[in-house]
Structure 1
């Protein structure tokens, strides 16, 4: 008997529906259940052929457990080793290398030095940095966000250099990136499952959370069809390059060009109350089919992880600038019809529009609205308390009154440094 397990946190609707869907298919020798962990011994195999990971981004213990399971043969979705190494700034760099449009983006050093470091630790960092060139490249308005974050945490819209420096004061030890703002005509969010199935969903990030999928594309006719095909192609290329089997990609469309905005979401929101019933049904079915397929091909004792073409090409000495091989496109997926809001809209405390929200943090509506049972592991862990996810609200600043040559996020090299101050 091969077990398919799902590892999850606060979410309720997707895990239960996924388990029931897999089991309803009656595949010989395959069952699905909520993962139960009673001990983790080094190099010991887990009891699962496949594990769908929905929570390890928030629980380091789970991430380590999944890596241990993977080296003994469990097919973990998504690959915990790559997920640990990946981050949004790298995502953008890779997208540019494989020819997918992304906003202009730069990396910023943290406002505060990391623990156990001194000025000497930063002797290679120029003071001041080339702020004029940075601002000229990105432009304003822009977004400042963590280079490896998610869930719309610590995201700021900045309108000028003074604004950026004021808000950067609040970011502590976070390494931030400054990203061009794309004023979009259309916006979509795409599920990509198994690196072959793509669902393109019109999405309006400026709407309240429960109404973001109640949207439609402005593009029509031939323009719409061409745009959808391009978006599907870009979605597949990104996930094949990164090696994700369960991910979402968001595109902001400006002047007919889809810019990849957010595509590092290996535990994407799949709650029925936010994505809507039709989209939820598609995700549950596609995820169940993928998990069953992976269980059938899983070989005990061997590594059964998915590695992206970026890693495979690196191992074989192929430059990153070489685009990944062409992937057979999935059957055309029509943009879903407008999704009606739930009968009892979910209130959200978000202060800013949220393009995405990581799995495990969505608010649930009343259980009477949809017949979905809550699934819990056999031995549930004690609560570790709430996880703060809200962005910091910052008032809009006045016009800048200081020169852009001022360095705000860096310190001068140490006195014993051989580097000259610029």
Structure 2
């Protein structure tokens, strides 16, 4: 018998591929010994949604949430178990409003990051609210949409302030496209954001706890081809800045399972989207990078429960703003200061030491499972669920080939 047993809850929506992979590999991790010599065993359960008494004690030590960004009942349960029971959550439910992009833009602009010029415009169509006509008639100021667009500069993007998965995003090149996109926006609240033209690289970085994988992203391609298997596509300095921005965003908002999109032009790194409550970790999207994501998720969740890491619900924004508002500091010096705060939040040194001492076998566990028949069955069932029958053979060959490439590279 283990000295301590831990339960990790998986709060899920429609996805089933990575949860099955995570569950299978967590079972293979086995007992972990902490620095005091106690043995810990960690298991996972899928969270069900049901009425809950606010004084109920949960059985979970940590919850990986992939649902509450849109489903309010489990969101309120997450708030309760964080406030009352110290259950560890990878993404804070208290900063979900910042996941609507707008607050995230504002905060990172305050920190001096190179966020493109952005303007929020009112709803095109009246809201379905009996008070709207009176309020708008008395307080809404008329505005010149074309003048606003000129202040941002063409080309630009019109994008929902609370968007996700590129839904409702339009590229605007002229006045005609501006009015067409705004007319189509209806009751959605939209940003106008300057485009970064002639960029060299579109990077998407996935961060899980203190670990970050920066991937070359090709948004113009189908989803199964968007992540290019390409290494060293950024200079060391630019790559380090992309990693720093990703971790600073996450530490600032208490997000620990998040993705960040940046456009790199020359040596300038422009973050354009870095608030994602449900980052893409599907095997059919990440393919080659899927084993890394599972390794990082296993290490971070086991580390959190075994070390008894407590949630830090306060966000310490004043510490970041003190650096941001210091006129004597350069951009690079400010980013270094933010990175130190982020490293402190993620306990970088302690985490790396713990992993080296107690979780050194995780990569081997993942590699063994990725090379197993069980994984190939999971991949096959996922492909058959996602694609029409006449494409099964093609995509099975595509994804199996990419996984084989990862196994060769990490053998």
The TM tier, using the shorter chain, reads 0.7 to 0.9
Q: Distance in 2 between matches of 1:255 and 1:37?
A: 48
- Match of residue 12 from structure 1: 16
Gapped regions of structure 2 (runs ≥ 5): 32-39, 327-333, 353-378, 389-394, 401-411
- Match of residue 25 from structure 2: 21
5 Å-filtered alignment, 1:22-421, equals 22-27=26-31, 28-73=40-85, 74-116=87-129, 117-122=131-136, 123-129=138-144, 131-132=146-147, 134-183=148-197, 184-194=199-209, 196-214=210-228, 216=230, 224-277=235-288, 279-298=289-308, 304-310=311-317, 313=319, 321=325, 324=338, 326=340, 327-328=342-343
SS at match of 1:72: helix
Contact preservation (8 Å) 1:103, 1:182: yes
Contact preservation (8 Å) 1:240, 1:309: no
Q: Distance in 2 between matches of 1:5 and 1:41?
A: 18
Root mean square deviation, CA, Å: 3.1
Q: Distance in 1 between matches of 2:243 and 2:230?
A: 17
Question: How far off its partner does 1:37 sit?
Answer: 3.8
Q: Distance in 1 between matches of 2:165 and 2:71?
A: 15
Judging by fraction of residues, say which structure has more helix: 2
Q: Distance in 1 between matches of 2:60 and 2:43?
A: 10
Question: How far off its partner does 1:113 sit?
Answer: 2.2
SS at match of 1:110: coil
Q: Distance in 1 between matches of 2:24 and 2:254?
A: 27
Q: Distance in 2 between matches of 1:63 and 1:84?
A: 12
Alpha-carbon spacing, 1:85–1:251, altered in 2? closer, same or farther (3 Å) = closer
Alpha-carbon spacing, 1:287–1:217, altered in 2? closer, same or farther (3 Å) = closer
SS at match of 1:169: helix
Q: Distance in 2 between matches of 1:296 and 1:79?
A: 20
- Match of residue 374 from structure 1: none
SS at match of 1:201: strand
Contact preservation (8 Å) 2:99, 2:277: no
Cα-to-partner distance string for 1:162-216 (whole Å, 9 max, x where unaligned): 321222112221110011111221111101111x211111111111111011254
Question: How far off its partner does 1:14 sit?
Answer: 0.9
Q: Distance in 2 between matches of 1:218 and 1:313?
A: 33
Alpha-carbon spacing, 1:307–1:290, altered in 2? closer, same or farther (3 Å) = farther
Q: Distance in 2 between matches of 1:47 and 1:26?
A: 20
Q: Distance in 2 between matches of 1:148 and 1:245?
A: 20
Question: How far off its partner does 1:148 sit?
Answer: 1.3
Contact preservation (8 Å) 2:97, 2:103: no
Q: Distance in 1 between matches of 2:186 and 2:177?
A: 16
Q: Distance in 2 between matches of 1:128 and 1:32?
A: 53
SS at match of 1:276: helix
Question: How far off its partner does 1:84 sit?
Answer: 3.9
Kindly indicate whether structure 1 or structure 2 has the higher relative contact order, using CA contacts under 8 Å at least 6 residues apart: 1
Question: How far off its partner does 1:114 sit?
Answer: 2.1
- TM-score after normalising by structure 2: 0.73
SS at match of 2:255: coil
- Match of residue 357 from structure 1: none
Q: Distance in 2 between matches of 1:270 and 1:193?
A: 11
Contact preservation (8 Å) 1:239, 1:308: no
SS at match of 2:238: helix
Contact preservation (8 Å) 2:11, 2:67: yes
Cα-to-partner distance string for 1:116-172 (whole Å, 9 max, x where unaligned): 23333133332134752x223311121111101111111111112332122211222
